[in-house]
């Protein structure tokens, strides 16, 4: 008995359209996401690696713009916090820079100077009076308060610098800080300080407004470099910050015998230049559209109106993701102020034309006008009656972002206020 097997082969053709990005398009999108500082690093790296490249510095920005390239580059230079402090101390008359260097090197991560360090300085032969005098000079530098002994000393320093120092707050920090921390607004603290409840509430507000540390000392910091500089007067001028150098193929690459070898390197130079041109053009059109739509903010110092990236993309014939890439990590300088470009796109479509700032303002107004504390759910319902579709959890996030307590804590505040 024989068994037979039959195999059938069937060919099926399917037509499918798939979009692939070319290498130049991928590189252009990558450059579009870069802020100006990263563009500079990319160009410097290309100068170091590409043997067929020549470069020249860009000229200063056009006349009429008060921010020229040299000023921007000077601001962008990375300097350590110690360099800044030493420069400030050098300007103070009578400051002993030797002791100042010792103090700066012995500050801890929060900017405090331990008493043991002062004892070591005295043992090394420095006069106590000069040491304390130098510490006082350091405290008035920016950031203020560096050289304080601990959190308590720094809070006292902040309270005493106020125009109208609160004597109750100073007395609490000097003698009852631990009791204040663990038993805030308790009867025990009230009896210890011997003040009225209103005075205690004012002192509490003053103490809580203080920062715990003068600084988080880091190795270095850098100034923000604006990618777009806008001048409104006498006429609107939008300047896209150019990279530090302009690349071009070298004269050797143009010679006939080197053309094959130089082909790939010259292609890289053209890719970078084309990507930078495309990036700058995209940023210019987006910024021009933003100024048109946010005219109230730029010309009359008003509030930002609701604006989505989808609207900008539709008007500029770009995809929403292109707008998002273009404004990511970019900053715009308007007169003396610097803003992240992303803040100009501030609308959530579920909130029916209300910006995050306006919703936060309405939540704060509801809380300030409440006779008795409202729960987050009740605030959400009140906003829904105004046409704002918002959940209880979203209200809670807004409230926490503004530093407003929950309804239970606010209820305790209302009870104390009524006493």
CATH number of 74's domain = 1.10.10
Q: Are residues 337 and 318 in the same domain?
A: yes
Give the Cα separation of 242 and 276 in Å (integer): 9
Report the domain count for the chain: 4
The kind and range of the H/E element at 42 are helix 36-49
Q: Are residues 93 and 116 in the same domain?
A: yes
Give the Cα separation of 396 and 405 in Å (integer): 10
Classify residue 50: in a domain, yes or no.
no
Q: Are residues 333 and 238 in the same domain?
A: yes
Give the Cα separation of 212 and 215 in Å (integer): 9
The 10s digit of each residue's pLDDT in 391-411 is 888 888 888 777 777 777 776
pTM: 0.50
CB atoms within 10 A of CB 229: 21
Give the residue ranges of DSSP H helices in 124-225. Answer: 128-139, 151-161, 167-175, 177-182, 187-193, 197-208
Query: If you write DSSP's letter for every residue of 362-396 in order, what string do you get?
Result: HHHHHHHH-SSPPPHHHHHHHHHHTT----HHHHH
Pick from 142, 149, 162, 144: which is nearest to 205 by CA? 162
Structure tokens that stand for 279 in this block: 């990036």
Q: Are residues 283 and 315 in the same domain?
A: yes
Q: Are residues 235 and 315 in the same domain?
A: yes
Classify residue 318: in a domain, yes or no.
yes
Q: Are residues 300 and 194 in the same domain?
A: no
Last residue of a domain, one of 344, 377, 393: 344
**Residue 21 burial by CB count (10 A; 0-12/13-18/19+): exposed, middle or buried?**
exposed
Structure tokens that stand for 114 in this block: 């331990």
Q: Are residues 162 and 181 in the same domain?
A: yes
Q: Are residues 314 and 232 in the same domain?
A: yes
- 3-state SS assignment for residue 19: coil
377 alpha carbon, distance to own chain's centre: 32
Q: Are residues 300 and 328 in the same domain?
A: yes
Q: Are residues 136 and 171 in the same domain?
A: no
Give the Cα separation of 318 and 313 in Å (integer): 4
Tokens 């110092």 sit on residue? 301
Per-residue pLDDT of the chain (419 residues; tens, 9 = 90+): 555 666 666 677 777 776 667 777 788 888 888 888 888 888 888 888 878 777 776 544 443 344 444 544 444 455 577 777 887 887 777 787 888 888 888 888 788 888 888 888 887 778 888 888 888 888 888 788 888 888 888 888 888 887 778 888 888 888 887 777 766 556 777 777 788 878 888 888 888 888 888 875 444 445 678 889 888 888 888 888 888 777 777 766 666 556 677 778 888 888 888 888 899 899 999 999 998 888 888 888 777 777 888 888 899 999 888 898 888 888 898 877 888 888 888 655 445 556 677 788 888 888 878 778 888 888 888 888 887 878 888 888 888 777 777 777 776 655 555 54
Tell me: cis bond preceding 216? Omega within 30 of 0 counts.
no
The kind and range of the H/E element at 287 are helix 259-293
Classify residue 182: in a domain, yes or no.
yes
User: Do 335 and 232 form a contact (C-beta atoms < 8 A)?
Assistant: yes
Number of residues written out for the chain: 419
Classify residue 197: in a domain, yes or no.
yes
CB atoms within 10 A of CB 338: 14
Tell me the residue range of the domain where 374 lies: 356-418
Tell me: cis bond preceding 292? Omega within 30 of 0 counts.
no
Classify residue 128: in a domain, yes or no.
yes
Last residue of a domain, one of 117, 148, 179: 148
Q: Are residues 144 and 158 in the same domain?
A: no
Classify residue 385: in a domain, yes or no.
yes
Last residue of a domain, one of 148, 163, 179: 148
Classify residue 75: in a domain, yes or no.
yes
56 alpha carbon, distance to own chain's centre: 32
Classify residue 43: in a domain, yes or no.
no
């Amino acid at each position: 008995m024989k068994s037979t097997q039959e195999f059938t082969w069937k060919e099926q053709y399917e037509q499918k359209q798939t979009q692939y990005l070319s290498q130049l398009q991928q590189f252009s999108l990558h450059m579009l996401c870069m802020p100006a500082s990263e563009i500079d690093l990319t160009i410097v790296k290309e100068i170091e690696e590409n043997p067929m490249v020549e470069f020249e510095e860009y000229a200063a920005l056009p006349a009429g713009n008060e921010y020229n390239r040299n000023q921007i580059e000077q601001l962008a230079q990375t300097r350590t916090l110690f360099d800044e402090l030493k420069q400030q101390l050098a300007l103070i008359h009578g400051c002993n820079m030797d002791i100042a260097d010792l103090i700066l090197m012995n500050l801890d991560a929060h900017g405090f100077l331990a008493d043991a360090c002062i004892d070591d300085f005295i043992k090394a032969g420095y006069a106590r009076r000069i040491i304390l005098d130098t510490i006082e000079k350091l405290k008035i530098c920016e950031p203020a308060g560096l050289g304080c002994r601990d959190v308590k000393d720094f809070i006292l320093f902040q309270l005493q610098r106020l125009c109208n120092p609160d004597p109750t707050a100073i007395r609490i920090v000097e003698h009852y800080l631990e009791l204040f921390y663990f038993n805030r607004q308790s009867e025990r603290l009230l009896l210890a300080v011997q003040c009225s409840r209103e005075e205690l509430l004012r002192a509490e507000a003053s103490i809580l407004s203080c920062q715990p540390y003068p600084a988080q000392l880091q190795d270095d910091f850098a100034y923000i470099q604006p990618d777009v500089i806008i001048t409104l007067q006498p006429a609107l001028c939008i300047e896209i910050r150019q990279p530090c150098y302009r690349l071009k193929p070298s004269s050797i690459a143009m010679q006939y015998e080197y053309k094959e070898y130089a082909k790939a390197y010259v292609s890289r130079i053209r890719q970078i230049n084309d990507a930078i041109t495309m990036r700058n053009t995209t940023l210019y059109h987006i910024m021009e559209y933003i100024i048109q739509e946010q005219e109230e903010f730029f010309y009359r110092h008003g509030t930002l109106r609701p604006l989505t990236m989808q609207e900008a993309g539709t008007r500029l014939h770009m995809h929403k993701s292109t707008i998002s890439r273009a404004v990511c990590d970019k900053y715009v300088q308007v007169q003396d102020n610097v803003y992240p470009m992303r803040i100009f796109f501030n609308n959530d479509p579920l909130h029916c034309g209300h910006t995050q700032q306006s919703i936060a303002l309405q939540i704060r107004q509801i809380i300030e006008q409440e006779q008795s504390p409202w729960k987050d759910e009740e605030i959400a319902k009140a906003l829904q009656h105004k046409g704002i579709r918002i959940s209880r959890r979203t209200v809670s996030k807004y409230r926490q972002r503004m530093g407003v307590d929950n309804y239970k804590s606010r209820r305790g505040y209302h009870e104390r206020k009524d006493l």
